Structure 1
């Protein structure tokens, strides 16, 4: 394939740029500095705007680089279904869809924007739907770190609903501590941090368990390590679980 003409980019509009680059995002995902599955998917998707600033002699070169970075981001943490789906959607909607580098870059920019909006709106819709299940003075237990659960609690408080929340530490990474710190900053929420092994002691005081999720595969819900014993204990003491 021959190099493109110098004016091939004249119709390409400059997209929004983000501070984090691909390599930095991969490292952050691998080290689990970002814990929410939806946040990981958004950051990984936005990091691909770095490719819009690179120069490519041919369309093949651009698409090879895109696929290489999609694979690297996807492999950074294979447990995040949202990340996998976002990277797959970019490949399906961008690769083999254009005839010039400029067109491919413009398409990539559009797909990035659309995927980010879809993920963020999906979380907002989930929170809006879940908030209707909360009642004033309710006591809940939650596990690990879920941005959707946090968004739901914020919306509940905005509706003048006060909540008592028990949060598991979620060892070995102690992600529950981050959740507890976030909840402590929300008015009308009383968070209490507890070790994972204390779930059986605390659950009888709770009205229900509220959890986020990573994905659903073949009718099975997958979430962070430690979810199963919490759900099993909740079932044993007749405490409902909301996902």
Structure 2
């Protein structure tokens, strides 16, 4: 186990475009089990928990992978067996983990079928990039007339990737500035959102900006639907944005910079020659990279803002998600 690098294995698995972070985490843990020298279930569980913690430490946004690790470790803990030896049991656990990850790839198609019944000839707003949302929209396009507004989704700009893929499939699509969602919402019939995790409160963790879209949709009386595979259900109960494990004190902080002054030669109205200098004479310039570093990647959307969660286990209200999670982890 000393030479097994769990995070490198996880990163390698993520290169597969079909694998989301929870499934990549599950498969990384199954690879760890192959390398493990554990001789008892107690030792194996300790190794699994230690490697799950290592994955979380190395990731700036561990929410999705934590959901996968949590699910897999709970499965290992409660797995019923009649194996004659621990070695035989470990082989079966590895097989079960790999089999689950393979079967879970079909969950998106199941969710798409479920959400399809709620889609008419509509205009839809979506945010950032989500494999399950993309699959749902592509399915709807084959049988219905839809048009899609996609937010730009800064700082990563993943909404542009979504828009390009939708347009390549022939779906009428336009990219909306994140700051223009309230302007565009009256043209929209409902919001269709992906997820990084659905938490125990029934709330949603997703790309930053999701929360403000939900607030705007609620104010405009537009349904807000979330799509989430059940392996993204996470036993976490955030009360605010700052309870997310991806939050750090550096987010939205005020950097220590020298006070600025306008260059005397640029005191006219022309902006072309103007520059801002600090007291020591060095220019001050804020880049998009600076802004991205000082902002969160994900945010939390409260359950009261969510109309329904479509999952492979059914169409659930936020309260239904809470009940399902309690049952799943109660054994």
Matched, 1:224 2:207: yes
Aligned to 2:169: 186
Instruction: Verify: 1:174 aligned to 2:174, yes or no.
Output: no
Name the structure 1 match of 2:31: 50
Cα deviations by residue, 1:128-173 (Å, 9 ceiling, x for unpaired): 110111123x211111122221111122123x22321111111111
The within-5 A match list for 1:156-171 is 156-158=140-142, 160-171=143-154
Provide the alpha-carbon RMSD of the alignment: 3.2
Partner of 2:86: 100
Measure, in 1, the Cα distance between the counterparts of 2:212 and 2:189: 17
Which stretches in structure 1 are left out of the alignment for 5+ residues?
A: 1-20
- Corresponding pairs, count: 214
Provide the rounded CA distance (Å) in 1 between the counterparts of 2:109 and 2:182. 31
Report the structure number with the largest CA radius of gyration: 2
Measured in 1, the distance between the counterparts of 2:17 and 2:216 equals: 25
TM-score, normalised on structure 1? Answer: 0.72
Residue number in structure 1 paired with 2:105:
120
Contact 1:45 1:116 in 2 (8 A): no
Q: CA deviation at 1:104?
A: 0.9
User: Equivalent residue for 2:7?
Assistant: 23
Q: Structure 1 28/225 Cα, relative in aligned 2: closer, same or farther at 3 Å?
A: farther
Rounded to whole Å, the distance in 2 between the matches of 1:52 and 1:164 is: 46
Q: Partners of 2:127 and 2:141 in 1: how far apart?
A: 19
Q: Provide the residue aligned with 1:18 in structure 2.
A: none
Q: Which residue, 109, 113, 117 being the options, matches 1:132?
A: 117
